[in-house]
Structure formats: structure tokens, C-alpha cells
Structure 1
């Protein structure tokens, strides 16, 4: 299977890592086989979108990236003293003494080696009953039959054996609260880490993964760290259920035509387009904020007149009517079963719309007629006549003028 995935992305192309942000977006749209295959094969979707002529105009700026790294380094400085203090303070436990926190070395060869070293460090800290800070541990999670390697900002192990995921973000927390959309995205991302940690905890005696994660952000408009506890049980449940619904990657790959590849270095734009279109997508407007291929998929959906371009809610209401043309034909009574509730609702809506437009047209005509009558009356009152006549006394004036001439 690994050889097959390597052929899909290109034999000489290194796999693009699947991070928690991408995995959370994939879990939010489990019906998209296109994204599942591309992410599982390690295809760089940003490069693919650019080659297709629909680059994604989003991403983190270099300045924001550097600012985030600087803030994270500040939070973890001095052996994680400030970070563990925030953990203890927000979770209501006794803080460790200075120098009491273990910071194990997690370096190893390759992702498999780093994953194994992380699991060993978690087990050793739990058995020792000590505070430990794991800086950028590596966790493994199986996604659609393929392993994904995830790297949280930090995991803190407490003496009672509980493991807490720490997410460090550079957006501010003003007066104790942060932007709700950004917090929600961080919670979905952290839920993926919690899910991967649970796989390790079941093999570690006395370990328990906390469903509360610690979100660390700059306080107000300063660079001082502050923290908030976020309960991710809801996001965890949704992520677990959605990932279980993903079709296995080998099943998607086996259905592709022979020789299909997404190698942007070796294929022309037409070949890449054909390869991408060979895999079914499940586009929704929400994809625009989470997937690099969203603009390409949106263009295709609009060209095909697919109702998915209008949103999942609209798509769900329309049942078997999958195109805008079919919806309009059903509303006009040109097709569709009148007994179908969806068709009946569309025709009723079309009838109400026609009645409303007719009333609006009648009101506009009446208003124009009244305006014309008012203008005519005003012209008479001030010595004029309606349009098409001659000015009052115009003939006499003309004659007098001629006589004088």
C-alpha cells in the first residue's frame, strides 16, 4: 500500500505531513474521498491547487509564524516552569517546586522512532508519579487505514497520572476571553491530540487522558502568557465518530484508473485535472476555510450547477434534486413527482414568489401612474401643460415675436 501511495504523489516526492489541523478538517467532512486520498497519500494540496490554476489564498504569514514561535518559546522557558504553573493554577492542583518538572529528550530517528520514544517517556513519567513536560511529542493515529503522525505543542504529565494536552496560540485573550471561532478551531485540533493520546494511555497502567485541554494565549495586548481550560468532550466525540466513517484509503485508490498520479512535477495541468476529477469530492462552502483545493472544487460545483455550492443545509433539504437546473425545473412544474414533498414545497414557493412579484409590479405601476398624474397637475398649476402639448400662450408669443421681427 505504501508503494501505491508513493506512486500517487510521485515516487520522488516526499510525503506532505498530515497535521492535526488538516485531520480535524478531514473529520469535519468525512464524505470527501478526494481529501481523504490526497491527505493519506501525503500529496501537497497547496502545490496541486496552484498547478490546477486555483491556488488557495490563505495561510499563515511569516511574521505570524515567527511571532507564534517566539511566544511558544517564552511559555516553555526555564524548563516549563511558567507552563506547569498555569496548568496547576487552572486545573486546581498543587504546583510543582522549581526544578521538579522532568523534561525528557524525545529525539529519535524517523517518525516511528519518535512515536515510540514519546510513548516510553509518557509511561516512565506516569510510573514515577512525577511532573513531566513533553515538548512537541509525536503521536500516531490511524486514519482510514493509514498512519498519521501528530505533534501537539506540549503534553503535561501530572503526579496523579493524568495527561493534559497544551495548545499554545498567538491570538490574544482579552479580558479572559478570546475569539470564539479561533477557540473552536483550537478545540477541534486539540481533540485530535486527545484521541491519539488515548491510544497510548490504554497501554499504560495508571494513565488517564484529561478531556480538558489548556489553551495558552497572550494576555490582553501584552506578550505575557495566560491560560484557559477548554472542555473538548463534544469535539472528541464528533471527531471519533467522523473518522470512523472515513472510507479506507486503499479502497479509494483501487477504484482509480491505472497510472493515476498527482505528481505536479511530471504531469500537465490537464493530466492533473483528470486525476483529481477521478476521485469524488464532497464540496461545501465551509471547505473554503479549511482545504487548499476548495476553490478548484467550488469552480467545478458551479460549472456543474451542483446544489452543494449553496451549502450542506440546502443540499440536505433538496433530497434527490442534485443540480440547480433540476431544482428550477421542478419548481416550474416541468419535472418531478408532485407527490414528492420537496417538489411540492418548491412549486408552492415558486407560486408564492410569482404572486409576490405580480403584486410588486402592480404597486410599481400604480406608483408611476400616480407620479405622472401629480407631475401633470403641477405643470398645469404653474402655467405648463402635460408633455406633448405646447406652452400656454406659445402661439401668441410666437406670432408677436414674428411681428416684431
Structure 2
């Protein structure tokens, strides 16, 4: 007759088995690959702002002169102050362009140079100096001059989405499982990415970017948590530092893709449609056994381990762990479970030492993120080729994930 095993003994054996599973190199590295590859898409969507929102040189569109055989430079020289095609303009002279269109360019130039200058009026429509029409959201929706401030909303929306997604998917991961959170955020990624490229409205575009930010935050948090809860302690430092290597790889890949897909819509599709590969990750990435154990679902935790190495599972423990698996959590209402989760979240601020560490981390991350994105997304204020600019950002960032490994190994975390 099989001896009854206490829950404490089951938990202890399961913890020891998880440590052995965490040493199964092939399995842990497969999880690492599935957990880190979504970072490629995170990086691409964040940095795509450099290409999607590029502001081309622009000037006022004058339909009467566009209908003639005049060049852009000739139209600019007659209609604007200075007449330099390398400069952007938001206003033009209020000439009688119907009359000027009937003249040859030299005659019109002589007429305007000898006549008193009329008043300047704001542009009603714009022309852009682009090799590919509608190459950016700026030329798509005329986000210049008085509408120039709207351009940054494309990036603000994704940043707000990442902030909101951290709370939403953090709660989902804690209450319903890390894998379920990962799957939901992947599905949101698959839908919102192409939607941003398909829309004809700038408002809908910013909303889609908002959901891209939510999805990116959910994918990152869920995948990172699964990885760290599966890996043994000695490998968590390595995985924690190298997990973000997908970001610089994503930047470099984005620069190459953007070089060949120069229309903003085609670029958006090019970085969004491959998210369909995340469906493979959704199928194969495991639930965190430690989360299952914390929820009292020992049988489910054993099943995850069974998929890695059956020989690690004692038959008697597996049999006994099926008893009382669901625990008391399922008997509670969703509201009580929600309040319990909120209480656990707020409890971390009750500890003075823990609270001070969290605040220090927040301040550190705020300063690091502010300087990081100010440089990474500010290509317009540099004269460099934007493709090289983004690629070099990735190349220079890559060593920053290797250096901490050495520092943590020899100096420790605080030093």
C-alpha cells in the first residue's frame, strides 16, 4: 500500500526536482530562446519611430503651379521667402497663381521680383521632398507646422501602453499564470501591429501603437518571469543579463529592413507580420512550475517536469500530488482573489527596506531611460544617416549586456 505523503514533503521534493530541471541545459536554453526572441519585435516597434515619423523637407502645395511643367525648385522660388528647396516652409505668398501659371517660369519670376510682395498665408496643403511617396506618417497625415506636435504622439502612445501593460499583464501573470499572460500579449501583438499599418486615420494609428505598447510590456514581463523562475540560481545572472540581447539585434535588423521597406506602411507590415511566429512560442513555452507550485497545483507542475525528463518524477509523489491540487483559491470569488492580489502588491511598500530599494530602482531606471531614448530616438537632430544611426545604436548597446556579467561576477550587485 502506498504511503501517504504530506503536502510539505511534496513541495520539498518538487523544489529539489525543479533545481535539477533547471540544470537541463537543452531545455532551459530552448526556453531562453522562446522567451527572448519577442524582444526583437519590442525593439523594432519602439525604434521604428525613427523611420515612421521622419519629417521630409516640405513646402506649400500650390495646385495651379503643380499643374504646370515647373520643377519643385521653381515653384518654391516664386511662392516662398528665400526660395531654397532644402528648407521647409509653412507659409507662402498670396500671389494670383492662376495668372502666374499662364506664364513661363522666367516671366513669372520677373513679375514677382518687380511687384510688391503680397502677404504670407499659411499652407493649406503640402508637398514633400520624398523619393517614395508617403514614406512617413508625417507626409501621410501632414504632421508639420501647426500639426508638428502631433507627430510625437506616435511614440508617446506606445510609451503609455507599456506603462499600462505592466500593470495589466502583471496582474494577469500573477493570478492566471505567466503562460496565459504571455499568450494573451502575443495575440494582442499579432493584431495591433498590422492594424497600425492598415489604418487610414492618425487617431487609430496612435491607438494601435498604444496596444502595441501594452502587448510589448506583457510579452517582456511574462517571458522574463518564466525564464527566471525556471532557471537555477547560478544561471539567473547569465540569463538576466543576456535576455535583453534581443534588443540590439532587433535594432540592427530594423535598420536593414527599413532600408528595403522605405514606405512607412510597408515597414510597419514588415516588422508586424513576423509576430505570427510567436504562435509557435505560445504552443511550446511552458508554464512556470514555481507559479504552479505557489498556486497549489503540484500535479500541473509535475506535468511540466514530465515533459522535460520523466526519470526525475517519483511515481508516489506524482500520485499524491493529484489530491487537493486546486487548493482553496478556486473556492474564493474573483473579487476576493483580486483584493488578495492587490493586498500582496501593496504589502511590498510596508517594508521600509524594500520600499527604499524600489524607489531607488525607479529613480535609476527613470534617469537611464530618459537619457537612453533621448539619444536613440533623436536621429533628426543628428546629421548621420538614419539607417547607420539605428544600426550603430544596436552595435554599441550590445556590449552593455556583457559587461554587467563581469561586474556582477567579480564585484557583486551593490558594488
TM-score range, shorter chain: under 0.3
- Bigger helix share: 2
What TM-score comes out, normalization by structure 1 length? 0.22
Higher relative contact order (CA 8 A, sep 6+): 2
- Bigger strand share: 1
| Structure of higher CA gyration radius | 1
What TM-score comes out, normalization by structure 2 length? 0.21
